[in-house]
Structure 1
Amino acid sequence: MPLPSLRIKRPFPLFLLCCSTLVPAAAHAQGQGPEEAEAIEAMENQISRIQEQQLELQRDLMAMRRELAQHRAHLHLAHTATATESVTRDHPSSGHGAAESRQLARTTGKPAPGPASHPPLYPGEVPAPTIGEDTPTYAAVVRHRDEDMVNRIADNNVGPHPRETAGAQAAGALGDHGVFHVGPVTVILGGFFDTSAVLENRHIASGTFNYWTAMPFPRSANYHENSFEGSPRYSRFSLMARANIDSHTTVSGFVETDFGAGAETTNPYESNAYVPRLRQAYLSYDDTQDGNHLLVGQAWSLLTPGRVGIVARQESLPETIESSMLAGQTWTRQWQARFVHDMLHHRLWLGLSIENPATIYDTTGFDNDNGTVALPNGGTATIGANGTGLTEFTTNYSDEIAPDVISKVAWDPAWGHYEAEGIVRFPHDRVFANGTGHNNTAIAGGGGASAVLPVIPHRVEIHLSGLAGVGVGRYGSVLLPDVTLNAQGKPKPLPDAQATAGIVAHPDPRIDVYGYYGMQRSGRSYFSSGGSAYGYGNPMSSNAGCEVEMSPLACTASIRSVQEFTLGAWWRFLQGRYGTVEVGTQLAYSRLQTWKGIGGAPSTSVSQIFFDFRYLPFQ
C-alpha cells in the first residue's frame, strides 16, 4: 500500500539555522564591551523569534502525528491475523504500541485497538514521541493559555476578553507567563499587584469601593469635606489547575483572592491590616464534544452579563478602577451549581443555575433588633439572625427557604453577543402574633437582557445591559433593598430596575478608553398605623433634617435612584517578557435621589477622581 504524503510547513533545519545565527551574535556581544547591552537585546529578540518558529514546528509535528495515526489505522485494516501476532511478539503493549493506541483513540474518537493488534513499524522507522494530553509540550501549553478556556467559541467579532484589559482582569483572567505542568495537570497563574487611590468631594470612608447608599446629605459634616484615600488592598492573585480527561473533556479548579476585606483589628492608623477575602473558588467540567458544561462553587452569578457564550471568566464587566464597578451593573459573586449546554457549533448557549440566596430587607419605621422586627399590631417578624461560629457576627444573615433560580440563553451570531435571562426568588420570614406563629414565603424575580455590539470589531464596542423585576435589588451594585414588610409582617418585594450603557475603545493595543452610564432605581411599598409611617418610600416619613447641617430633625429618606456617569482610560506603558505595567485614571460623578417625604425629596452627589497602577507579572 503506498504511503500517504506527510506535509510540514517548515523543515526542521530552519530551527537549526536560527540557532546557528545565535552563536555569532553571542560572541559579538561579548567582544563589544560598551555595546554589550545592545547586543544582548538583539540576542533576546532572536531567541523570541526562534521560540515562535519552534512553536510552528511543534504544531506541524502534531499535524504529522495525526496523519501518521490515520495511516496506521488504514494499515491495521489491511494486515492479516498472522501479522498481528507478529506485532504482539515484537512490540509489547507496555512500549510504543500503547502510546500509539492512545493517540489513535484521541484522533479518531474510536476505541483503540488492543495491544495485540497494533501494526508493525517499517524497517528503519523511528518511533515518534507521544504528543498529547498525557505529555506536556510547549504547543499544548500555548494552546491552553491562548484559549484561556476549554470551550471552542464561535467567532462573533467580539471574542474572548483581551487578557490584558481591565475588564478581563476583573472577571479573573489567567496569565500568559505563569504556565507550568505538575504531572498531567496544567497550572496557570493570574492576578496583579495593584495600588489605587481616590480623591472625592465627600467623605464616604469606603475607599475605591463606592458605597452609594452611604453618600452623605448636607446634614452630615462628611458632606462638606473632601477625602483622599489610597490602598494596595485590591491586589489580586489567582490560580487554575486544569487537566484533560481526553481530547474534548476537561476538569479544572479556579481560585481567586484579594485583600478587600476588613477585620475588627483593621485600622488606617498603623498597620492597615486588611485581610484576604475569597472572590472566586469553583470547579468545572467541560465536554466540548457534547456541549455540556458544569460549574460548582463561588463564581460570578449567571445573571452577570457575558461577552461570549456562557463561559466563566468571560463576564462583560466595566473597565473601571472603582472596585464596585458601576452603579446599575448587575452582578454578584456567590455559591452556585450551574449547568450549561451549547449547540449550533457553540453559537447558542442555554444555562440554568441555582445560587445562594440572600435577601436585603428594608425595615424603615420598624424596630429591628438583629433580625427580630416588632410589628405595629404587637406581633414579631423574624427576618434573619446575626452570624455565629465562623460567620461575621455583626452581619445579619436573612432567613431563606430555597436557592435563587436563574436561567439564561446566549446567542453568538457572526456579529455581536446577545443574552436574555430570568430569575425567581423566594423571600421568607416567620411571624408570631396572637399566640401563634407561621411562616411566610413570597415569590419575587424578574428578567433582563444584555448585548455587546462590536461597532469596529476588536476596536470599539458598545455594552448594554439591564434587569427589572421585584425583589432583585441586591443584584445591582448600589445594593438597594429587595423587600420590605407589610402590616402583617409578610415579605413585600420592592420593584427594582438597573441598567448600564457604555462604550469601550482600543485605539492602540496599549490603550483602553471607556465611558459608562449606570442607573439603579427602586420602587416603594408602605403603610401607616397609629400615626406612624412604616415601609420603604413612605410619604409620611420625615426628610426635614436632611438639608440642614447638624439638624436635630430626622432624615429617613428612602433612595429612589442612583445614577453614575464615568469616563476613564488605561495605558499599558511597559510590556514584555517581564509582564505588563499599566496606569489608569477615571472621573466619576454619582447622583442620589430620594422618595418624597415630609420636608421634600432631598438629593446628594459625589464627584471622584481615581488613580491606579498595576503590575501584571503573568500577562
Structure 2
Amino acid sequence: MKSNLKVLASMVLASALVASAQTAKSGVEGSAATRKTTHKARPVRKPAKPSVESQIESLRQDMETQIQMLKQQLADRDAQLQQAQQTAAAAQQAAQQAEQGNQMQQQAAAQTAASVNSLQNAVGDLKTTTKTQVLAVQTSQAKIEKSIESPDAVRFKGVTLSPTGSFLAGETVYRSKATGGGLNTPFGAIPLPGQPQANYSEFYGTGRQSRIALLAQGKLDNMTIGGYYEADFLSAAATSNNNQSNSYSLRQRQMWAQAALNSGWTFTGGQMWSLATETTKGLQNRSEILPSTIDPQYAVGFVWTRQYAFRITKDFGRKIFFGVSAENPQIASVAGHNFPSNLIVGQAGNGGGLFNPLANYASNAAPDFIAKVAFEPGWGHYELFGISRVFRARVYPNDLSSVAANNNSTGAYNDDAVGGGIGGGFRVPTFHKRLDIGAKGLWGDGIGRYGSTGLPDTTVDPGGQLALLHGFSALGTLEAMPTTRLNIYANYGTDYAFKRYFMNSAGKEIGYGAPTFVNTGCDKEPLPGAGGYAPGGLANCTADTKDLQEFILGYWYDFYKGPKGRLRQGLQYSYFQRFTYPGVGGAPKGTDNGFWTSFRYYLP
C-alpha cells in the first residue's frame, strides 16, 4: 500500500512541475501579448509574481492534501472493503444458516410428512380396528342375542346341555310278505314259500323311532368332560300292543361318559356304537356312518352293535387315528341240528339279576376286544380293524348211564373257543362332493353277531364242543346330493354264514348246512290244525340260512333346514332275498318287498 502511495505522489509531483512550466511559459507569452495590447490600452498594474519556492510549497501542500485525501479514500475503501467482507461473511453465514435452516426445514418437513403419514396410517389402523371392534361387538351382540333367543345349548353350572340329535317321527312300513317285526325288519325271518306269512302282507304305522338325545359337555383347562344319552321307543314291554294306546317302552340306545384330552387322547365308557362301526370323523363317538335308511335295523351287511364298551382313542395330527375297546360279549346263537345234549351254552335271564327271563345270556370268559386304525389323508375316510372273541360252553362228556351210576359229573369241563375277524371300510366324496361312494365289511370266525342279520356265530360238533362258523358281512353304498335339500341313497349288502357239519358215531350228520338235512316241506303251506282253525307249522324244513341279501333305494328331502331345526320326509324301498343251504328237497328261497315312509322334525 505504501509503495503505491509513493508512486502516486511522484506522479502527482511530476504533473505539478510540468504544469508550472507550462504556466510560466504561458505567462511569458501572455505578457508579450499583453504588452502588445497594452501598448494600445491604458496601462494596468501587474500583480506580484509568485516565487518558485512558494509554488513548490503550494504544490507540496496540495500534494499532501491530495495524499491525505487519497489515504482517506484508501482508508474508506479499506473500511468499505472490510465492511463488504464482513457483510459477505455475514451473508455467507446467513446463507449457510439459511441453508441449514432449509435443510432443517426439509428435515422437519420430511419428519412432518412422516408424522402425517404415520398419523394417517394410525388413523387408518384406528378406523380398521374400530371397524373390526364394531363388527366384533356386533357379532358378539348377535351371538348373545342368538344365545338368548335361540341357544345352541343350555348352560347349567358351566356345563352345556344340548338336545341335538333328538327328533320326532311319524313312520309307516308295508311288506308284501309278513314278518311280524313291525317297523324293524327281522332279516332272518323273511318267510319261505311254505310259511303262512309268505301269503299275506303287513302294514304298520308308528312314532316309536322318535328319539330323545342329550349331550353334556364341560370344558376344563386340559380336557373336555361330559357324556351322551340317547333313547327311543323301539322296545316292547309285556303289556305293549297295537290294540288301543300303542304304548311301547323307552329303550336305551346310547349312554356313555367321556373325557377328551387336549393332547388327542379320549376315554369313553358306557353303552355306545361298537368300535367296529364305521365313523366319519376319526374315531369320534356320535360320528358313526349309518345307512340312510328308515328301517331301524338299517341294512343287511351293515357291521354294528350297540353295547357296553370302554374305548381309548388317540388322534395323531387329525390324519391318523388309533383306538382299542373292550366290549360286552354275547353269543348271537348256536345254530344247527342233531346236537348232543351234553353241553350248556349260557342260560335264561335271572329276573333277580335284572335280566329278561325269556332271553338267553351267554356266560362269557372275556370281553370282545377290538382294535382299529383310521386314516383321513385329505380325501375320504379309511378304516381297518380287528376283533377278538372268546366263546364258552360247559361240556359233560359222560354218557347218561355213567352219570347215573357214579352220581357225579366227572370229566366235565369248560370249552373255550377263540374266534374273531378282520374288517375295514372307506367312504370317499366324488363329483365335487355330490356323490359319496362307500364300502365296508367284516370277515372271520364267529362274527355273525356283528352283521345286521345276526346270523349264528357257532355250531356244535359231535363231542359237544363249539365249532365256530366262518362268515362275512359286506355293504356297498352310494349317496347322491343333487341339491342341498335332496339326498338319494342306494345300498346293496349281504350277510353270509358258511356251512359246517360233522358225522357223529351213529352215522348221522350234525351241525349247520349239511346236505342231508330235509327241506321237502319248505315250499308248501301246511294244512291247518285244530279242525281247520289253526295254522300249521312247517314240517320237514331244515332250511339253514346261507346268506341274506338286500337292495335298498330311497331318498330324504328337507323341506326346511336351518336355525329352527329340520323338517324332512323320506321314502325307502327294499328288496330282500333269503338263501338257504340245499338239502333233501332242494334249497328253498324267500323274498320280500318293503316300503317305508317317514316324516320327521329334528331339533336344531
**Secondary structure at 1:415's aligned position in 2?**
coil
Rounded to whole Å, the distance in 2 between the matches of 1:567 and 1:524 is 31
Q: Which residue of 2 aligns with 1:385?
A: 347
Shift of 1:568: 0.4
Partner of 1:346: 318
Give SS of 2:482's match: strand
Q: Which runs of 4+ in 1 moved over 3 A?
A: 4-16, 55-58, 575-578
Q: How far apart are 1:453 and its partner, in Å?
A: 0.7
CA-CA distance at 1:270 after TM superposition: 2.1
Q: TM-score, normalised by structure 2?
A: 0.72
Write the deviation string for residues 448-492 of structure 1: whole angstroms up to 9, x where unpaired.
Answer: 110011113442211110110010001010000011111111111
Q: In structure 2, which of residues 272, 278, 303 is the aligned counterpart of residue 330 of structure 1?
A: 303
C-alpha displacement of 1:519:
0.8
- Give the letter for the 2:158 counterpart: P
TM alignment of 1:2-81, pairs within 5 A: 8=129, 10-11=131-132, 13=134, 53-55=138-140
Give 1 or 2: higher helix fraction. 2
Contact 1:452 1:464 in 2 (8 A): yes
CA distance in 2, matches of 1:338, 1:560: 33
Q: Which residue of 1 aligns with 2:290?
A: 317
Which amino acid in the other structure matches residue 418 of structure 2? I
* 1:352 Cα offset (Å): 0.6
Over the matched positions of the two proteins, sequence identity in percent amounts to: 33
Q: Distance in 2 between matches of 1:11 and 1:250?
A: 31
Greater Cα shift, 572-581 or 187-196: 572-581
Matched residue SS, 2:555: strand
Q: Out of 577-586 and 216-225, give the one that drifted further.
A: 577-586
Distance 1:13 1:433 in 2: 84
The corresponding residue for 2:572 is: 586
Which residue pairs with 2:394 in the alignment? 430
How do 1:65-464 residues align onto structure 2 when only pairs under 5 Å count? 178-190=152-164, 191-246=166-221, 248-288=222-262, 290-343=263-316, 345-366=317-338, 374-375=340-341, 380-389=342-351, 390-434=354-398, 435-436=409-410, 437-464=412-439
**1:268-316, CA deviations, whole angstroms, 9 ceiling, x for partnerless residues?**
112211100100000111113x211111111000000112211101111
Distance 1:14 1:478 in 2: 55
CA distance 1:522–1:299, shift in 2 (3 Å) = same
CA RMSD of aligned residues (A): 2.2
Give the corresponding residue for 1:606. 592
Matched residue count: 454
What is the Cα deviation at residue 181 of structure 1? 0.3
Structure 1: distance between partners of 2:416 and 2:379: 43
Confirm or deny: 8 A CA contact 2:336 2:460 kept in the other structure. no
Instruction: Report if the CA contact (8 A) 1:233-1:258 is conserved.
Output: yes
Alpha-carbon displacement from aligned partner over 1:483-518 (angstroms, at most 9, x marks no partner)? 111111111110111111111112222111111111
1:264/1:321 CA distance change after superposition, 3 Å: same
Q: CA deviation at 1:56?
A: 8.7
Distance 1:13 1:308, change over 3 A: closer
Shift of 1:399: 1.9
Which has the larger Rg?
Answer: 2
Give the aligned partner of residue 476 of structure 2: 501
Q: Which residue in 2 is equivalent to 1:549?
A: 525
- Partner-residue secondary structure (3-state), 2:240: coil
Report the Cα distance in structure 2 between the residues aligned to 1:602 and 1:260, rounded to whole angstroms. 31
Deviations 1:374-408 (A, max 9, x none): 43xxxx20101111121111000112100001000
Q: 1:482 to 1:519 in 2, by over 3 A?
A: same
Query: 1:131 aligns to what?
Result: none
Please, which runs of 5 or more residues in structure 1 have no aligned partner?
17-52, 59-136, 143-175, 368-373
CA contact (8 A) 2:375 2:381 kept: yes
TM, length-normalised to structure 1: 0.70
Q: Aligned partners of 2:130, 2:350: CA distance in 1, in Å?
A: 65
Counterparts of residues 484-523 of structure 1 (less than 5 Å): 484-523=459-498
| Shift in CA distance, 398/13, structure 1 to aligned 2, threshold 3 Å | closer
1:242-273 CA distance string (max 9 Å, x none): 00011x51001101000000111111112211
CA distance in 2, matches of 1:15, 1:292: 33
How far is 1:360 from its partner?
Answer: 2.0
Q: Distance in 2 between matches of 1:498 and 1:446?
A: 11
- Unmatched tracts of structure 2, length 5 or more: 1-121, 399-408, 528-537
